[in-house]
Every structure is written in structure tokens, then in C-alpha cells.
């Protein structure tokens, strides 16, 4: 089965939409608002570390394997 560029683009766009959706939800939390207001404490920092760490892990492991063996990911 041959994979076309359109198929790859559609799969990657789908995964990017998941990240954008969760990023939108995160920006509506009180922790994110406090960081924007420069009210950073340990709880806010830990929350953002966990969230962006999860984004990074998702971006790495949600890659699409190409026929050549390479992996296209959204990082």
C-alpha cells in the first residue's frame, strides 16, 4: 500500500488539532491565567511542566511511520 502526501498531511493535521484543542482548554484554566499575570508559584509551575511535558510526549509518540521507515511527528 502506497502512502500519499495527502494521507500523511491529513493524519498529521488530525494530531495537531488534538494538541490545539487541549492547548485551548489549558489557556482557560486559572493556573495559566495566574502565570500570565506573573503570579508564578510552585503549583503553577508544576502544572505547566506536566502539561507541556505531556504535549511533548504526545507529539513524539503520535508519529506516523513512513514507508521508508522514518517517522513523521508533530514536534
Closest CA to 54 of 15, 17, 19, 11: 19
- Residue 74 — very low, low, confident or very high, per pLDDT cuts 50/70/90? low
Average pLDDT, the chain: 81
Is 7 contained in some domain?
no
Phi then psi for residue 38, to 5 deg, are 60, 35
| Total number of domains constituting the chain | 1
Does some domain include residue 60?
yes
Is 15 part of any domain?
no
Asked whether residue 58 is assigned to any structural domain, the reply reads yes
The answer to whether residue 26 sits within a structural domain is: yes
What are the residues whose beta carbons fall under 8 Å from the beta carbon of 18, sequence distance 6 or more?
58, 62
The radius of gyration of the chain's CA atoms, rounded to the nearest angstrom, is 16
User: What confidence tens digit (pLDDT) does each residue in 39-62 have?
Assistant: 888 888 888 889 889 888 887 777
Domain range enclosing 49: 21-72
> Cell digits for 29?
484554566
Please give the C-alpha separations between residue 64 and each of 6, 24, 31, in angstroms, as whole numbers.
13, 24, 33
Query: Does residue 35 lie in a domain region?
Result: yes
Amino acid at each position: 500500500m502506497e502512502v500519499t502526501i495527502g494521507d500523511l498531511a491529513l493524519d498529521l493535521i488530525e494530531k495537531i488539532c488534538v494538541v490545539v484543542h487541549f492547548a485551548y482548554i489549558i489557556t482557560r484554566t486559572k493556573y495559566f491565567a495566574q502565570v500570565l499575570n506573573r503570579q508564578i508559584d510552585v503549583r503553577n509551575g508544576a502544572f505547566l511542566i506536566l502539561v507541556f511535558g505531556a504535549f511533548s510526549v504526545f507529539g513524539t509518540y503520535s508519529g506516523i511511520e513512513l514507508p521508508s521507515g522514518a517517522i513523521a511527528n508533530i514536534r
